[in-house]
Amino acid sequence: MRVLGCLDGTNAEQIGYAAQMFTTAEPLTIGLLTVIDVGPRKDIDRMRERFWRPPMQHQPLTGQMLAAETAAAHETLNAGLAYAKGAETLLRQGRPELEIVNTASEWAADVILIGARAEYGEPPHVGPRSVGHVARFVLDHAPCPVLLLRPLAREQFPINR
Amino acid sequence: MTRPFRWSESRIAMGGAAGLLLLGLIRPADAARTLLRDWNTFLFFIGMMGLSAMAETAGLFDWLAVQAARLAHRSAARLFLNVFLLGTAISMIFSNDATALILTPVVYVLVTRLRLPVLPYMFACTFIADSASFLLPISNPINIIVMSRYPLTLFTFLRLFLLPSLLVIAINIGIFYLLYRAQLKGSFNLEQLPAAEMAVQHRGYFRYTLWVLALVAPSYVIAAAFQFPLSVVAMAGALLLLMGALFWKRTTLAEAGKGISWPIFGFIAGMFVVVRAIEDTGLTIKLGNLLLHLSGGTSFGAVMVGTFGAALGTNLINNVPMSVVMNSSLASVQHAAPAVRNGFVAATIFGCDLGPNLTTVGSLATILWLLILRQRDVEVSGLDYFKVGVLVTPVMLFVGAMAIWLLL
């Protein structure tokens, strides 16, 4: 079985534990994917266009941006490896939602593990808009089953009926 | 607006101006007079871009960003506030151009290193660039364009814009905190930051840059107070920094030239000539009369119609052309009561400065294109800016316009 875990920089532990659920499957290959989002760079280019400037690619800061993105991506993958030892790591660059579904297809994933949305220290959110745009896109477009991972939020229950 | 075949705006504007000259719709002498009359605007653009580029070479923006992070004491929320304050200071002294184009990528690198969510901080930079761009006359080139035609004393400028600026900045910060409060609850690890000294490539040139800027900032205020051309101060500052950079071998003339967006001069020159020719057709006068009619001849109407008209126009044709069109149109309101006249001038500055925040990363045409992409199920981050812009900008425009009206 080929399990593809999607790391967003905040969910390494969650993905690692979810991947352990598949340990009975033989043979098991775990892939850890992280995507360098090019969206912010495109936004900066659009902003530059508004001020009649050429795209960022030839600017001195571009190198720093790439270095910071790459370092963050490697750190994310290493954090994932701490919970899923021996996993295959995959680093992509582009729109995360597109890269995840395309990688799942190329890598022949049998199941995708994805967090509902990146969590930056806030309490788990239950309710409308609790699934981010990346997870929503993956649910709609994945070439295989998707396991949506949500943080434990039992203290927020029961929901009023 | 549509940029057929991806032609640059400057090529289109210059082509339009050349066409008008060839067809005899504007006399070469009139075109030349129009361009010479606006020498202050052209020089200011060179000086402003030169100052920012040289300060970037010194590593000033990186250094300031690292300091902002250190002063945040590991709190993501406090860093968010510091980014707003830093953006305000940079817009005030270097103009909105520097905040949007230089500070935004610097902050992007910073928060990526700190493993913080990127978007709230990028939004903070891009929005504060315009929200803080009417604190001083030099905070936005639009102010120079409008004030070249309709001069305001520094006292009048500050009287009309200081309080609205502070209100708009406060609204911007407040709404953004509400929007992103969940993502800003975390903290960051200071060890992931490089030392501030790492940003400084050459200590001597960095110190020299700080001294020159410490000289330029009050010079701007003094020059504005005496209605001395601000472009001269900007150019002098840029030249001083360039000389320092050449002395310490931090740049070359060719390299420094790349820091200036030369096509913008073709675009502005073309726009000035095209609008001058349109003036002869009486079209801009008609627009001015329409604005006056819509305002009902009251100062309240002038501020509201001027603000929202200019803001809408900036999202259709970009703010520089809109300010040139408004400049020309306001000629027909000069016979109105002083409060109405001043109301229109202030509203033009305010609307053209703040209006772009509605569609921060492009014009309405860009947003329509992004909406089409969104319909194809591709998540487009540019649309996030639009959603936030639509939420926050009308509030800022209304509150700021009300404050300007009360201060008229």
Q: Which residues of B touch A68 (CB under 8 A)?
A: 108-109, 112-113
Task: Tally A–B CB contacts below 8 A.
Answer: 107
pLDDT at A153: 85
Does residue B272 belong to any structural domain of this protein? no
Q: Which residues of B touch A43 (CB under 8 A)?
A: 122, 126, 361, 381-382, 385
Does residue B274 belong to any structural domain of this protein? no
Is 80 exceeded by the pLDDT of residue B9? Answer: no
- Report strand pairing: A88-94 vs A111-115: unpaired
Mark whether B37 and B152 lie in a shared domain: yes
pLDDT at B368: 61
Q: Give residue-wise pLDDT tens across range B321-368.
A: 899 999 999 988 888 899 999 999 999 999 999 998 887 665 555 556
C-alpha–C-alpha distance, residues B32 and B76, integer Å: 53
Mean pLDDT value across chain B = 89
3-state helix, strand, coil in chain A (%, to 5): 45, 20, 35
Does residue B98 belong to any structural domain of this protein? yes
Does residue A68 belong to any structural domain of this protein? yes
Q: Which residues constitute the domain of residue A54?
A: 20-26+38-84
Q: Which residues constitute the domain of residue B188?
A: 25-260
C-alpha–C-alpha distance, residues B61 and B278, integer Å: 41
pLDDT at B239: 96
Q: A29-33, A96-100, B28-32: lowest mean pLDDT where?
A: B28-32
Q: What residue of A is the nearest CA neighbor of B116?
A: A120
C-alpha–C-alpha distance, residues B143 and B129, integer Å: 14
Total domains present in chain B: 2
Structure tokens at B201: 């490539």
Which of the pair, B377 or A116, is modelled with greater confidence? A116
Q: Which residues of A touch B321 (CB under 8 A)?
A: none
Comparing CA positions, the residue from B137, B350, B95 lying closest to residue B223 is B137
Does residue A73 belong to any structural domain of this protein? yes
Total domains present in chain A: 1
**What ipTM was assigned to the predicted interfaces of this complex?**
0.88
Q: Is A53 close to B108, i.e. CB distance below 8 A?
A: no
pLDDT at A111: 96
Is 80 exceeded by the pLDDT of residue A52? Answer: no
For residue A17, the Cα-to-chain-centroid distance in whole angstroms is 16
SS3 assignment, position B347? helix
SS3 assignment, position B364? helix
pLDDT at B267: 85
For testing the chain B interface, which of A7, A10, A43, A62 should be mutated: the one with the most B CBs within 10 Å?
A43
Mean pLDDT of B153-172: 96
Does residue A112 belong to any structural domain of this protein? no
For residue B112, the Cα-to-chain-centroid distance in whole angstroms is 26
C-alpha–C-alpha distance, residues B106 and A60, integer Å: 11
C-alpha–C-alpha distance, residues A85 and B252, integer Å: 51
Interface residues of A toward B, Cβ cutoff 8 Å, are: 9, 37, 39-40, 42-44, 46-54, 56, 59-61, 64-65, 68-69, 71-72, 75, 95, 97-98, 118, 120-122, 125, 133-134, 137, 140-141
In order of A18, A87, A107, the CA distances from A5 in angstroms are: 9, 10, 12
State the pLDDT confidence band at A70, using cuts at 50, 70 and 90: very high
Final residue of a structural domain among B225, B260, B295: B260
Final residue of a structural domain among B199, B225, B260: B260
CB contact at 8 A, A51 and B101: yes
Does residue A80 belong to any structural domain of this protein? yes
- Distance from the Cα of A72 to chain B's closest Cα (Å) equals 7
One-letter-per-residue 3-state SS of B287-343: HHHHHHHHHCCCHHHHHHHHHHHHHHHHHHHCHHHHHHHHHHHHHHHCCCCHHHHHH
Is 70 exceeded by the pLDDT of residue B275? Answer: yes
B104 touches chain A (CB under 8 A): yes
Q: Interhelix angle for B381-407 vs A39-50, to 10°? A: 40
SS3 assignment, position A30? strand
Is 80 exceeded by the pLDDT of residue B369? Answer: no
pLDDT at B199: 79
- Distance from the Cα of A120 to chain B's closest Cα (Å) equals 5
Does residue A144 belong to any structural domain of this protein? no
Mean pLDDT of A63-83: 93
B118 touches chain A (CB under 8 A): yes
Would you say how long chain B is, in residues?
408
Mark whether B228 and B288 lie in a shared domain: no
Mark whether B304 and B252 lie in a shared domain: no
pLDDT at B300: 96
pLDDT at B217: 94
C-alpha–C-alpha distance, residues B84 and B91, integer Å: 10
Q: Tokens 């609204």 map to which residue?
A: B171
Is 70 exceeded by the pLDDT of residue B130? Answer: yes
pLDDT at B370: 62
Q: Is B105 close to A42, i.e. CB distance below 8 A?
A: no
Structure tokens at B328: 């020309």
Mark whether B244 and B300 lie in a shared domain: no
> For residue A32, what are the β-bridge partners?
A5, A89
Q: Tokens 């229109």 map to which residue?
A: B344
Mark whether B62 and B209 lie in a shared domain: yes
Does residue B171 belong to any structural domain of this protein? yes
Does residue B166 belong to any structural domain of this protein? yes
Does residue B18 belong to any structural domain of this protein? no
State the pLDDT confidence band at B214, using cuts at 50, 70 and 90: very high
State the pLDDT confidence band at B192, using cuts at 50, 70 and 90: confident
Mark whether B245 and B184 lie in a shared domain: yes
Q: A36-45, A91-100, B74-83, B90-99: lowest mean pLDDT where?
A: A36-45
C-alpha–C-alpha distance, residues B364 and B374, integer Å: 15
B130 touches chain A (CB under 8 A): no
SS3 assignment, position B408? coil
pLDDT at B152: 92
Q: Is A50 close to B186, i.e. CB distance below 8 A?
A: no
DSSP assignment of B121-155, as one string?
A: HHHHHHHHHHHTTTSSGGG-HHHHHHHHHS---HH
Helices (H), ranges, A1-160: 12-20, 39-50, 60-83, 96-106, 133-141
pLDDT at B366: 58
State the pLDDT confidence band at B74, using cuts at 50, 70 and 90: very high
Mark whether B126 and B174 lie in a shared domain: yes
Q: Is A120 close to B116, i.e. CB distance below 8 A?
A: yes
pLDDT at A58: 65
Mean pLDDT of B1-8: 63
Mark whether B84 and B165 lie in a shared domain: yes
Q: Is B274 exposed, middle or buried (0-12, 13-18, 19+ CB in 10 A)?
A: buried
Q: Interhelix angle for B154-180 vs B381-407, to 10°? A: 140
Q: Is A122 close to B182, i.e. CB distance below 8 A?
A: yes
CB contact at 8 A, B313 and B136: no
Q: Give residue-wise pLDDT tens across range B397-408.
A: 999 999 999 999
Residue B117 φ/ψ region, left for φ over 0, alpha for ψ in the -120 to 50 degree band, beta for the rest: beta
pLDDT at B145: 92
pLDDT at B197: 75
SS3 assignment, position A29? strand
Mean pLDDT of B30-51: 90
CB contact at 8 A, B228 and B40: no
pLDDT at B13: 80
For testing the chain B interface, which of A7, A10, A38, A47 should be mutated: the one with the most B CBs within 10 Å?
A47
Does residue A2 belong to any structural domain of this protein? no
Sheet containing strand A111-115, edge to edge, reads A88-94, A29-37, A2-6, A111-115, A146-149
Q: Is A50 close to B361, i.e. CB distance below 8 A?
A: yes
Mean pLDDT of B254-276: 86
CB contact at 8 A, B16 and B1: no
pLDDT at B363: 56
Is 60 exceeded by the pLDDT of residue B379? Answer: no
- Report strand pairing: A111-115 vs A2-6: parallel
Q: What residue of A is the nearest CA neighbor of B10?
A: A52
Q: Which residues of A touch B360 (CB under 8 A)?
A: 47, 50
Final residue of a structural domain among B196, B228, B260: B260
Q: Give residue-wise pLDDT tens across range B91-125.
A: 999 999 899 989 999 999 999 999 999 989 999 99
Q: What residue of A is the nearest CA neighbor of B383?
A: A43
C-alpha–C-alpha distance, residues A131 and A37, integer Å: 18
Does residue A63 belong to any structural domain of this protein? yes
C-alpha–C-alpha distance, residues A101 and B11, integer Å: 41
Q: How many CB atoms neighbour CB B51 within 10 A?
A: 30
B119 touches chain A (CB under 8 A): yes
State the pLDDT confidence band at A137, using cuts at 50, 70 and 90: very high
- Distance from the Cα of B246 to chain A's closest Cα (Å) equals 18
Task: Give the CA dihedral B296, B297, B299, B305, nearest 10 degrees.
Answer: 50
SS3 assignment, position A124? coil
Task: List the 346-365 stretch of B: residues with Cβ below 8 A of A.
Answer: 356, 360-363
Structure tokens at B348: 């033009």
Mark whether B98 and B243 lie in a shared domain: yes
Mark whether B148 and B247 lie in a shared domain: yes
Q: Is A47 close to B360, i.e. CB distance below 8 A?
A: yes
Comparing CA positions, the residue from A94, A105, A73 lying closest to residue A8 is A73
Mark whether B183 and B298 lie in a shared domain: no
pLDDT at B12: 80
Does residue A46 belong to any structural domain of this protein? yes
Which of the pair, B8 or B311, is modelled with greater confidence? B311
pLDDT at B4: 63
Mark whether B343 and B217 lie in a shared domain: no
State the pLDDT confidence band at B291, using cuts at 50, 70 and 90: very high
C-alpha–C-alpha distance, residues B224 and B250, integer Å: 31
Q: Is B108 close to A44, i.e. CB distance below 8 A?
A: yes
- For B210, phi then psi, to 5°, come to -60, -40
